[in-house]
Amino acid sequence: MNPLPSNVRIREVGPRDGFQNEPETIATADKVRLIDMLSSSGLKRVEITSFVRPDVIPQLSDAEEVLTGIQRRDGVAFSVLVPNERGLERALALRDRFDEISVFLSASETHNRKNVNRSIGESLAGLEQTLETAREAGLRREGVIATSFGCPYEGEVPLDRVLGIAERLAAAGCEEVGFGDTTGMANPRQVGEFFAAARERLDGVELTAHFHNTRGQGLANVLAALEQGVDSFESSFGELGGCPVPPGATGNVATEDVVSMLHEMGVETGVDLGALVEASRAAQRVLGRPLGSHVLRAGPVDWHGVQSE
């Protein structure tokens, strides 16, 4: 087994990936307050919102207001998701409020058509221009590949196809490529083999893992990626998020669960776990329901409180 990374970078995606799945509208003021709590918890990367069409995802129709309202903090990079050139144009009107963009497509033709009504080839052609515009604006660029570990419509997605898409995104200017387990179909052995191959083919590109906890394997998959040297992850506080397919899918692996596990293993994140849990508790109050994070329910491990017999 390879030695584990000593430090890990986490991008918190709850304010975008998590909020967009909530059926009830979240007030802009609550979004701003929760984002400010996250950015003050020691997290160094936070995905704030997405500049998609408001009629497509009404929950994120206040993207401009959220970006304007949040506090900028030294050392914290804010990112936004943009679907295309038009979304990037909207975002660039507030260029001083964020640092990074993410673009996205699926590794599955069926999922990509259902998600953005384009073939993979058409998506790549459009994203190449978007990435060039972002580069000219001085933005750091990430490409996210959904259904990297399996598709609910097509089943297994060939590894060579996923890595081929990643290579094209890197050639178009992505400094980072994120691989999404969109519906929680990945398993630890698959993840280990996947990232071993990805490291060989994508030298010089930051590889980011994005796992969902649909089948309870999120943390096991994080560990499998760690063992292959992956030191960049995306997660969502409170286990917010998810995907409408399959029915009953839970959210992304919870940020506080990831941070707790890493800290117990001696891997540094720079995150104050207590402050992060407080942000998830605040999100519970805003949403009016319990969230799925294990640490949120059980609390962080407290070795000082363990009584020896």
Give, for 155, the enclosing helix (H) or strand (E). Answer: none
* Residue 151 known to be catalytic: no
- With CA atoms as reference, report the closest residue to 232 among 1, 2, 13: 13
Integer Cα distance of 177 and 181 in angstroms: 13
Query: CA 81, CA 47: separation in Å to the nearest integer?
Result: 8
Q: Tell me the torsion sign for CA atoms 137, 49, 145, 5.
A: positive
247 CB contacts (<8 Å, ≥6 apart)?
Answer: none
Beta-bridge mates of residue 77: 45
> Tokens 């950015």 — which residue?
39
In the chain the beta strands, taken as DSSP E runs, fall at 9-12, 45-50, 77-81, 100-106, 140-146, 176-181, 206-211, 232-235
Residue 76 three-state SS: coil
Annotated active-site residue in 207, 243, 295, 296: 243
- Tell me the CB-side half-sphere exposure of residue 120, using CA atoms within 13 A: 18
Q: What is the DSSP letter of 254?
A: B
CB 235 within 8 A of CB 258: yes
Q: Count Cβ neighbours within 10 Å for each residue of 64-77 and write b for 16 or more, e otherwise.
A: bebbebbeeeeebb
| Residue positions annotated with a catalytic role | 243
